[in-house]
Amino acid sequence: MRLDSDVNNRYKMLGREFGTLQTPVAPRGWECGDACVRVGLFTDGLEHLDFAGVLAWCAERKIRDLELGVGGYSPVPHVDVPRLLADPGARAELLDRVHGAGAAIVALNVSGNPLHPDRRIGAVHDRHLRDSLRLAALLDVDRVVAMSGCPGSPGNDAWPVFAGGAWLPDMEGLVDWQWEKRLWPHWRELSEWAAREASGVAICLELHPGTSVYNAASYLRLREAAGDNVRVNLDPSHFWWQGIDPVRTIQELGDAVAFVHGKDTLIHPDRVALHGVLDFRWPGPPDTTPWHFCAVGEGRPEEEWAALIDALAAAGYDGVISIEQEDPRYGPEEGVERSLAGLHRALARAPAG
């Protein structure tokens, strides 16, 4: 990522290669002890604030690494994507505002379903993804957070069908059909397109149940068709309720992990004992669901977060953990501040720090 001279006064390029990517890293000792991993924010969590308000709020809390929502499921509250794509002056103005606040844009987020069988939806999400990749290249941002998507089934042109496994005979063969007919062709073409149109930008797929790529094995299966520019956004909150160990996942994927979300999961064992984790009430009130997302450190103990940070460092990750506020118990600002405090405590405990 290339930064202007003002921001280069605040950031030190360590020169670590990440394929064709480079990651700007704050000077050692900045804000969170000596840890290279630093804390950022997915700004959709503050969608009720205008962009000036977001920049001021983050500056007060020394949050300097921003992830902006630009399409897909995002309401895109803070930027005008068509204008930014069309107008170099608008891009310069955006970067001036961000850099003037002592911040940097480290990722764009366009999580959606480009494989939606209703092409009125899928085509829009696919266009958003490609636009975000083009915009990232124009802004010198080298990470785009996205999702693999989830297709339908043979003859189904309306609803995505999540085929996690053939638990009943009715589901046999569906996974293979989806991969052979939808996932591999789409992501092979998109990876090749992105390599041409947005060289140096990593597509960081969030491993999320409900999308076809939701764990390490499904990501590695996608890599049979996609190139090195298709990487992983690791959000541990989606692993914990499934019983997946995010540390093991990091060890399995290594430097394929190119971005990280900071979000926790609060699991209620008494409710899980009766309802399990595949509960139809999700999303629902936090006082009834077996699990729900929460602020960092309020689901898993700080020791687990410290171990996760250490695993990231061991895998060579020296980028951002971007807070994603989805704790239903708190308002936006309180939820972000709680995650910020939880991550700082975990960074202080991490052996790598």
Model pTM score: 0.89
Question: By the 8 A CB rule, do 161 and 181 touch?
Answer: no
Helices (runs of H) and strands (runs of E) counted in the chain = 13, 12
User: 212: which residues sit within 8 A by CB, 6+ positions away?
Assistant: 115, 148, 149, 150, 151, 162, 163, 178, 179, 183, 218
The pLDDT, as a whole number, for residue 352 is: 56
Domains of the chain with bracketed CATH: 27-349 (3.20.20.150)
Ordered mean pLDDT values, 10 residues apiece, the chain (353 residues)? 32 30 32 66 98 98 98 97 98 98 98 96 98 98 98 89 81 91 98 97 97 97 96 98 97 97 98 92 90 97 96 94 98 98 94 60
Question: By the 8 A CB rule, do 264 and 299 touch?
Answer: yes
Residue 257 is classified by DSSP as E
